[in-house]
Amino acid sequence: MSIGGIEAISGFTPLAAPVVQAPVAPAPASGADFGSLVLDGIERLEGIQDSADTLAVRAASGTLPNIHDYTLAAAEAETATKLTVAVRNKAIEAFTEIMRMQVG
């Protein structure tokens, strides 16, 4: 039994040329790497905490004219610390998920 091709389909022409993707080159580094960004963030957090600590000492010694300055600095330090801890937790969670992945 012989099966012939479908001749009618050869009458159709493609609407566009086939798309051929060129290899994608890696994007050039446009800034600091992740490690330096993390270190910069930690250094900024330390600066915020040091500022709040200094204002706390001044408030306790009575040399701070406006107690609200310390209150704002302490709240900012608390918020920055919470953000840093949240980022750390997400990074650990991502690393754990990557380590769970099975290869091949």
Residue pLDDT, tens place only, 45-59? 999 999 999 999 999
Q: Is the pLDDT score of 68 beyond 90?
A: yes
Taking the C-alpha atoms of residue 15 and residue 33, their distance in angstroms, rounded to an integer, is: 45
Is residue 103 left, alpha or beta, with left meaning phi > 0 and alpha meaning psi from -120 to 50?
beta
> Is residue 8 very low, low, confident or very high in pLDDT (cuts 50, 70, 90)?
low
Local confidence band at 10 (pLDDT 50, 70, 90 cut-offs): low
Residue 70, burial from CB neighbour count under 10 angstroms (0-12, 13-18, 19+): buried
Looking at every residue in the chain, the average pLDDT score rounds to: 85
Share of residues in the chain with pLDDT > 90 (%): 60
